[in-house]
Amino acid sequence: MKTPENVVLHVADVHKNFGGLHALADIDLQVEEGKTHAIIGPNGAGKSTLLNVVIGRLAPTSGAVVFDGQVLTGKKPHEINQLGVSRVFQTPEIFTDLSVLQNVMTPAFAKRDGAFKVNIFRPLDDEKAVREEAEATLEDVGLIDRRAVGAGSLSRGDKRRLELAMCLIQKPRLLLLDEPTAGMSRHDTNTTIELLKKIKSRGMTKVIIEHDMHVVFSLADKISVLAGGRIIAEGLPADVRGNPRVQEAYLGGAH
């Protein structure tokens, strides 16, 4: 299997069956370093399945996932995460009993100490450095004023921003976002687009799954269109937008 040098993530000939259902077939996806690569498609197209295969939550039936020259297939989700792959989930996974600030500090400690080992002898000056980094990250995502409140009391849009901050503090090489603006108001959606553009300018590679065309066309460098578990079109946003197969499969599909 040959992966070009500027490709940071290569999903190579991946198939995923659930019983008799071909959720993914013949998937070949190449994500280039520093780019924002959008995956779009109607409900049930296989988008979340594809992301779950990349992060190790699902094993492909056949094929392989290569990240930064390393085969991820067979590795555990936390191992893949430690290699620099981070994902924002469709439903935010945050610690509702902790404060906003504590939530952002947790992954930074976990990264340093190994997956979710707690070190009660951690030196205080180290804690201070992590706190400062967490505050800077909260500033970035626009949540600094809410640092002391319980994460459970945040609005839905703010919970997603918090989850994004929890990913960003890990400084991943590859950030995967599954519908980052789902359920958000237009205002929150626009704020999130601005935030993602800011991250983009720092050169972080992103794969974004999104239904909202406004978000996709604002952010994507490249788009792959998934329908019925297959990539039916791929290219620059302008090309994909005008492709009749895409309009039929995606815009005509239920979403």
Contacts with ligand ADP, residue ranges (CB under 6 A): 18, 21, 23, 41, 43-49
Question: How many positions of this chain bind Mg ion (CB under 5 A)?
Answer: 1
Q: How far is the CB of 3 from Mg ion (least distance, A)?
A: 26
For ligand ADP, give the closer residue by CB, 47 or 146.
47
For ligand ADP, give the closer residue by CB, 4 or 20.
20
Q: How far is the CB of 119 from ligand ADP (least distance, A)?
A: 36
| 153: amino acid identity, one letter | S
For Mg ion, give the closer residue by CB, 36 or 48.
48
Q: Which does 29 bind (CB under 5 to 8 A by kind): Mg ion, ligand ADP, none?
A: none
Question: Is residue 73 a contact residue for Mg ion (CB under 5 A)?
Answer: no
For ligand ADP, give the closer residue by CB, 19 or 123.
19
Comparing CA positions, the residue from 142, 152, 157 lying closest to residue 100 is 152
Q: Which does 224 bind (CB under 5 to 8 A by kind): ligand ADP, Mg ion, none?
A: none
Question: What is the biggest distance separating any 2 CA atoms in the chain, rounded to whole angstroms?
Answer: 61
Question: Is residue 49 a contact residue for Mg ion (CB under 5 A)?
Answer: no
Residues near Mg ion (CB under 5 A): 48
